[in-house]
């Protein structure tokens, strides 16, 4: 792994804000130095180019983001990141197949993403310290989650790179696998009652309780949409609206719960959960669903 820490560039950006303003300083001293990475992220996460980020940059509290970046480093965030990545490589058998030729960008973003590992010609993980903070459990959870995405993309090959062809079920299972992996990496029980599951799912007690109470209905609802394309409308509704709940107590990221529930059903029915996780990571979503249906005896 090649870890790139951008804190000096971020400080330089802040120093130039009085003369240039937030947007121009960010463009000249931060974005321009990591342009290839940023452009891939903006296209993958926001389906937009850099110009669409201007309102977010202007609204960003750079001083507060820097404080959180400094806290991440001061409280051992870099060591925890390396430790988690090494453990993740071992658990997935990644190094023997691909080595460690990937980049890890330790950044301060614009307050939206704690981490991402999008399909890219040169694999990388982006970590947003202003979102991650300095809690070791959260660092381990996010780093291992994003590493799993990186590993799965490489293990599936070009099929996974064609993100436009992703079905909704494939995306749900991709997030479910990464979520469960982030729990396994910390040697925790695969139980929705465990405290670590709230961190892994990014849910409050109330949101997780809602999901558990509506477990079967949520699985049926999402699988009924499984063959649909993973459109922005579906991803916003079921995955990327965060843990905030509606009037019924339903969180905006129920898809993570459903994906994790399906994966956990399979692992509970396997003889060796670690070996099964390796196998699932290399399987397309349709094969995972078939294995799940066999494991829980559902049509």
**pLDDT over 60 (residue 165):** no
Of 224, 80, 63, the residue nearest 144 (C-alpha):
80
- Across the range 253-258, mean pLDDT stands at 94
> Which of the two residues, 164 and 6, has the higher pLDDT score?
6
Task: Name the phi and psi angles at 2, rounded to 5.
Answer: -120, 105
Which of 33-42, 123-132, 156-165, 218-227 has the weakest average pLDDT?
156-165
Mean pLDDT score across all residues of the chain: 90
Across the range 117-125, mean pLDDT stands at: 92
- Which residues, listed in sequence order, are joined to residue 127 by a DSSP beta bridge? 106, 115
Q: How far is CA 182 from CA 7, 87, 166, 200, 267, in A?
A: 26, 11, 22, 7, 14
User: Any idea where the domains of the chain sit in the sequence?
Assistant: 2-160, 166-296
Judge whether 140 and 185 are in contact, CB under 8 Å: yes
How large a percentage of the chain has pLDDT more than 90?
A: 66
Whole-prediction pTM: 0.91
Whole-number pLDDT of residue 280? 96
Q: What is the pLDDT of residues 183-225, one digit of tens each?
A: 999 877 777 767 778 888 888 888 999 999 999 999 999 999 9
């Amino acid at each position: 792994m090649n870890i790139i820490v951008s804190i000096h560039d971020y400080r330089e950006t802040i120093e130039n804000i009085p003369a240039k303003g937030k947007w121009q300083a960010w463009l000249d001293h931060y974005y321009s130095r990591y342009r290839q990475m940023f452009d891939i992220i903006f296209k993958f996460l926001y389906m937009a180019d850099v110009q669409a980020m201007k309102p977010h940059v202007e609204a960003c509290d750079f001083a507060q983001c820097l404080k959180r970046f400094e806290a991440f480093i001061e409280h051992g965030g870099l060591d925890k990141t390396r430790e988690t990545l090494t453990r993740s490589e071992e658990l997935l058998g990644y190094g023997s197949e691909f080595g460690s030729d990937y980049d890890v960008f330790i950044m301060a973003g614009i307050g939206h993403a704690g981490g991402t590992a999008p399909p890219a010609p040169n694999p990388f993980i982006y970590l947003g310290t202003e979102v991650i903070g300095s809690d070791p459990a959260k660092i381990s959870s996010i780093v291992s989650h994003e590493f799993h995405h990186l590993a799965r993309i490489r293990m599936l090959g070009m099929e996974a790179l064609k993100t436009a062809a992703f079905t909704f079920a494939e995306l749900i299972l991709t997030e479910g696998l990464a979520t469960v992996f982030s729990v396994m990496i910390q040697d925790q029980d695969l139980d929705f009652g465990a405290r670590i599951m709230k961190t892994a799912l990014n849910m409050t007690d109330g949101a997780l309780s809602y999901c558990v109470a509506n477990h079967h209905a949520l699985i049926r609802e999402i699988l009924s949409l499984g063959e649909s394309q993973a459109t922005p409308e579906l991803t916003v509704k079921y995955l990327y609206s965060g843990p905030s709940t509606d009037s019924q107590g339903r969180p905006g990221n129920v898809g993570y719960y459903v994906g994790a529930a399906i994966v956990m059903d399979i692992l509970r029915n396997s003889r060796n959960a670690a070996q099964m996780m390796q196998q699932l990571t290399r399987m397309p979503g349709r094969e995972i669903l078939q294995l799940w249906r066999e494991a829980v005896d559902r049509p």
